[in-house]
Amino acid sequence: MNVKSGALAAAKPPQVKHLTVDAEDAERRLDRFLEAQCPGVPRTRIQRMIRTGEVRVNGGRAKGDRRLVAGDVVRIPPLHDAPPPSAEPVPLILPPIWRERLQAAILVEDAQILALNKPAGIAVHGGSGLAFGVIEALRVLRPDLPHLELVHRLDRETSGCLVLAKSARILRQLHTAFRTGTLEKEYLALAVGDWSEGPAVHTAALAKSLVVGGERRVRLDPAGKEAITRFRPTERFRYAGLPLTLMEIHIETGRTHQIRVQAAAAGHPLAGDLKYGDDAANRRLKAMGLGRLFLHARRLTLHLTGEEAPRRLVAPLPADLRGFLERLRAGDEAAPGQDTG
């Protein structure tokens, strides 16, 4: 009889959970919080229960990118497809090439942050058919950093400076800096066409949309979110008859695809941009040796509490983009009026 009772107890269906967010999880995204609380549950399942409202924060619906605050109460529905509590999560197998590339990409590491010169072609997180991204890979490489979190994002195709926080306190501090505009971000990009109008500020609002097949795109939309981008041309080229302009770009907001969409709207899509770019120009650029989007997060300046001076993180231009620039500079049709800054 006791055995039967034990079997019934073991077969008890999963129950609704109500978890209160503590200070250590404050500022963590809701979807990341759920992944930590529900080991072994597929990411697609977590996204679905957020989307359908099965997950609630303080009794209401919430999006996956919502930043939690201490004291929030998160409702987690019964997870019938979760592994038994005693089961160990399936370990993520990280290919050796990932270990090598990420280790080589570290720019700065101290007790507060870890900064990378993210290679192009590597997503910052898994999902949408990707088993893992930078954050998942680093958690495998660095199990000694249980609270490691992305401070911001870069597109998969974009290379450059990517910062991760080692604690909730630093994460909150840097998120505040992003929101208030006290964290400076500078990019280097190659635009198609002769940007002859000089420095310009673009403020067109942006909105996300989904097209056929579920692909995410961003468009100009007066009802969208504010996006502020400062463009400054620094060099102009004409290679094989194609005019190109090297741009220094500062962004005051961090919208998805912000630089790419606003540059295209200005009539100067970025070189190698397969989503918002000029198809004919991209074919010519590929034949010229450019194998990817020419967009690089070159500098990031941040000021942490308790430090006297701001930190200036610099990510060197990758070899492929540096080599392409050298080809342009050695070309026989350099445009007049270059400013090498």
User: Among all residues, which ones are annotated catalytic?
Assistant: 155
301 and 310 in contact (C-beta within 8 Å)?
yes
| Direct distance between the N- and C-terminal alpha carbons of the chain, in angstroms, rounded to an integer | 84
Per the DSSP assignment, residues forming a β-bridge with 225 are: 206
Amino acid 129 reads G
Q: Tokens for 267? A: 């009539």
40 and 82 in contact (C-beta within 8 Å)?
yes
Q: Tokens for 190? A: 């190659």
Q: Tokens for 131? A: 């088993």
Q: Report the distance separating Cα 158 and Cα 187, nearest Å.
A: 10
Count Cα atoms within 13 angstroms, Cβ side, for 64. Answer: 15
Per the DSSP assignment, residues forming a β-bridge with 229 are: 202, 251
Q: Report the distance separating Cα 169 and Cα 121, nearest Å.
A: 30
114 and 96 in contact (C-beta within 8 Å)?
no
Neighbours of 282 (CB within 10 A): 19
Amino acid 326 reads E
Give the gyration radius of the chain's Cα atoms. Answer: 23
Closest by CA to 165, choosing from 112, 244, 89, 119, is 112
